[in-house]
A and B are shown apart, each in its own frame.
Chain A
């Protein structure tokens, strides 16, 4: 029997070409940008003076619940997510604040589009989801000093997500007499940034509720598909 040696280079080349085409694969993906404390050691201690440590946990909507979760968060917010900072894969940095190994609260920040630049709004909440600290890490505005003043931040202390249920982030209005309606703008010229801050606060509280509090503030009517799986560290 004779083997025709012409066959092997031909099929070898074909097989190699086929194998190489299979390698036409992934393109590099660029991660979405999250919102971290600039100096966590200092900032955690400032927001929770009694803390003895903290743990950082990263979560994202796409890993926790995907499109369904995104839809529910948008529904709770009353406004769709938009822009570079509100994509489904944004990594949210949750700081679990500890004292002697026990969780005494959480710190979480979100990005929000402001009139002249990006805002970074952090909330410090106790384990029940009640705000105990408010911090604007970044804000570009002519009235920035007023909006970053401690007096403005103190208006948020003691509030929780329930107080923002009826706050309409699109119009910036809340029912008269509600606690959200009681938050006053210290700089009337900075109405856009004031509304942006309140939207950031409501979004922040919703994400904390979804990711850390097991949807404590989620009304049953707002969850047509039932609650999503309880939070876990990613």
Chain B
């Protein structure tokens, strides 16, 4: 009994007959799938990383007493004077707002050091609460040591530049000249590129006690819920008596704008990747159909229906796309770390954390997209093959 010809077998044999071309097509589709999945992973990872960075900004709102310098640099310019205080109880009022996630009290104090330079200088110290402040400044990393072990102790943590200037390391002593108080350095921060680099942190309770400022703070850091409307919160905070509100709403808006721009760019590039894959598939299959016109004619003359031929060509397309898609997903998973490094070296600003986040869902989505693209791309070559007239195609061989 004669064996019935399977169109799937014919499709497989055809792909194997032109091994180089099939392999290059699979590679092309694979690279496109890699780019697509990496971009989708980047889209997800970049947004997540930026959100994390926004979290790492710590407090997005700073509440100070009206007219109080809120940065060390401003305090220095004012000769260490002009500090104004808030009652610690303001923390309770701030926390009543549902937009507020966390608060942290801070007390800045400055002393005149007659032995800085020819005519003296100002040294500033920032008292922070070790139970809330480190959590808000999660981006701060330590070069040496750690945060205070005793919230009321005489311990200090120095920013990178402060440690450089004072030549302090963990275990060294620090003297507040005017007060004649010694602090032990328990931590030196790594360089952060923020004003924290030049800051000397000490426990707020100790600073309050030594400077006679019990129950008073110079600023209250407020961490706002990511989804909350900062401007609306600002307006509410202004209802508190004698406060000024310094907000980072603009920074947050800029960052979110950056996310939107990145998304548009990523989707545009992904679209180009899909188009490249599509053209590659169309080119390969169409070329194969043209080369096999006579062969298709013979198959049809042996009884194959147009639908059979259509399915045969489409099968070839699906096989190529599945193989290419799988290769792309594999590449993407294997090279995710390298791609992360590459993107970081190319972009002027990248958030901390993983930029490329690829999971099973994204991998399946990519496979589905590539398969869908393949199916669409295969329609024309398959339709063209199905329309081949057996007699004309066989006769054209002799021409």
Contact = CB atoms under 8 A, between A and B. Distances in A.
A and B found bound together: yes
Interface of A: 4-7, 9-10, 13-14, 20-21, 23-25, 30, 33, 38-39, 42-43, 46, 83-85, 111-118, 136-142, 144-145, 148
B58 interface: no
B115 to A, nearest CB: 4
B159 interface: no
Given A7-B24, A42-B118, A117 B167 contact: yes
Nearest to B174: A116
Interface string B113-128: 1111110000000000
10 contacts: A6-B21, A14-B31, A20-B342, A24-B342, A38-B117, A43-B118, A117-B166, A117-B167, A138-B115, A139-B115
A137 B287 contact: no
Contact of B175 (A10, A83, A142, A148): A142
Contacts of A115: 173
A26 to B, nearest CB: 9
B180 interface: yes
Interface string B188-207: 00010000000000000000
Interface in B114-157: 114-118
Interface size of B as a range: 35 or more
Given A6-B284, A140-B115, A118 B25 contact: no
A190 to B, nearest CB: 11
A117 B180 contact: no
A106 B309 CA distance: 93
Contacts of A139: 115
Contact of A10 (B28, B165, B167, B342): B28
A115 B169 CA distance: 11
A4 B175 contact: no
Given A140-B175, A145-B114, A148-B115, A6 B163 contact: no
A10 B164 contact: no
A9 B28 contact: yes
A118 B167 contact: yes
A138 B116 CA distance: 5
A82 to B, nearest CB: 10
B175 A9 contact: no
Contacts of B115: 136, 138-141, 144-145, 148
Contacts of A141: 115, 175
A113 B27 contact: no
Contacts of B174: 116-117, 140
B208 to A, nearest CB: 22
B117 A84 contact: no
Interface of B: 21, 24-25, 27-28, 31, 35, 113-118, 163-169, 173-175, 177, 180, 182, 191, 276, 279-280, 283-284, 287, 338, 341-342, 345-346
Given A9-B276, A116-B175, A140-B166, 12 more contacts: A6-B21, A6-B25, A6-B280, A6-B283, A9-B280, A14-B31, A25-B345, A33-B165, A117-B175, A137-B118, A142-B177, A145-B115
A95 to B, nearest CB: 15
Given A83-B167, A117-B175, A140-B177, A13 B113 contact: no
Contact of B191 (A21, A30, A83): A30
A89 B276 CA distance: 50
Nearest to B291: A2
B229 to A, nearest CB: 36
Contacts of A140: 113, 115, 166, 174-175, 177
B317 to A, nearest CB: 14
Contacts of A4: 21, 24, 283, 287
Contacts of A148: 115
A114 B114 contact: no
Nearest to A118: B167
A115 B287 CA distance: 82
Contacts of A33: 164-165
A12 to B, nearest CB: 9
A194 to B, nearest CB: 15
A59 B166 CA distance: 23
Nearest to B182: A116
Nearest to B169: A83
Nearest to A26: B345
A139 B123 CA distance: 12
A5 B280 CA distance: 8
Contacts of A114: 167
Nearest to B342: A20
A38 B165 CA distance: 14
Nearest to B22: A6
B25 to A, nearest CB: 5
Nearest to A24: B345
A14 B27 CA distance: 10
A144 B177 contact: yes
Contacts of A7: 24
A85 to B, nearest CB: 6
A118 B177 contact: no
8 nearest A-B pairs in the assembled complex, by CB-CB distance: A116-B175, A118-B167, A144-B115, A113-B167, A117-B166, A38-B117, A13-B31, A10-B28
Given A6-B28, A145-B115, A116 B173 contact: yes
Contacts of B182: 116
A111 B167 CA distance: 9
Contacts of B169: 83
A152 to B, nearest CB: 13
A23 B24 CA distance: 27
A138 B113 CA distance: 10
A4 B182 CA distance: 78
A227 B252 CA distance: 59
A6 B24 contact: yes
Contacts of B116: 138
